[in-house]
Amino acid sequence: MSSRLAKAIALIALVVGPLTLIATTIVQWLLQPTGSAPTVVDVAMQFPTAWLTIGLLSVLGPLVWLAGLPAVSALAPARGRLVTMIGTLVTGAGLAAAIGHLALFFGLNASIAAAALPADARHAMESAGDGEALGTVLLVLFLLCYSLGPIILTIGLRIAHRVGVWVPIAAVLTAGANLFGGPIAGVVQLVSLAALWGAVVVVVARDRGGRASSPSPDTTTGSGTGRVTAEHPAIS
């Protein structure tokens, strides 16, 4: 695979991944089911097509996103390399956990909605799903890794002087807003998320395989023009 094709795939992945998260979050805000005390199952029941579409995008988005992370890790070939690599691995673990968690979440609620169970049975199934061990472990892993990973990753990129100081701050804002509910926290999270990964996309697009961070031959002692001058001094 050529370097240009690899970079193109990475850029597409790093754009599509965050965009699917932003788009599905906004669409879920717009889906308002009727009823006195509507639940997630009511959303799946009253908007089955939208629910299926959101579910597919929510699962496939992180899967695509993962394809762009190796290019991000390669942005710090020397200084900040270890921190960037750790941040990439933690972020990747969070995205992988998100795939499993979201597949269970959307699939289970769609199945409960399609079963047309009585109210008592439906509530029992919802409670059982909320307390299911595998889904809970994946959710916790997703929240922890998805919050901490980008923070560590952007700190590594900052150490490597590849991003501005504000990028790790945007990562902290994204993680912090995730802990609070409400529309304001949601908007802050999406804006900071877009700014964070937008900055990463720009750096990946401008990257030339680490060559920009290497000293040029003309400025290295004993190389280039300096070496010629040393070997052939001017005759006085």
Counting Cα atoms < 13 Å in the Cβ hemisphere of 82 gives 0
Q: What is the pLDDT of residue 213?
A: 41
pLDDT at 190 (0 to 100): 95
* Domain spans of the chain, in order of start: 3-212
**What DSSP string runs through 1-37?**
--HHHHHHHHHHHHHHHHHHHHHHHHHHHH----SSS
Predicted confidence at residue 44, as pLDDT, reads: 92
Per-residue pLDDT of 101-132, as tens digits, reads: 999 999 999 999 898 888 888 888 888 888 88
In this prediction, residue 212 carries a pLDDT of 41
Under a CB-based contact definition with an 8 Å cutoff, are residues 33 and 66 in contact?
no
Task: Residue 162: name the closest of 105, 106, 203, 131 by CA.
Answer: 203
Of the candidates 221, 230, 84, the one whose C-alpha atom is nearest the C-alpha of residue 150 is: 84
Q: What is the pLDDT of residue 205?
A: 94
Low-confidence ranges of the chain (pLDDT < 50): 210-236
Q: What is residue 227's predicted lDDT score, i.e. its pLDDT? A: 38
What pLDDT is recorded for position 143? 93
C-alpha span between 81 and 147 (Å, rounded): 20
- Cα separation, 110 vs 102, in Å, equals 12
State how far Cα 107 lies from the chain centre.
22
pLDDT tens digits for range 150-182: 999 999 999 999 999 999 999 999 999 887 877
What pLDDT, on the 0 to 100 scale, is given for residue 222?
Answer: 41
Distance CA 133, CA 178 (A): 22
Q: What count of other Cβ atoms lies within 10 Å of the Cβ of residue 142?
A: 21
CB 92 within 8 A of CB 168: no
Which among 8, 11, 5, 9 has a CA at the least distance from the CA of 198?
Answer: 11
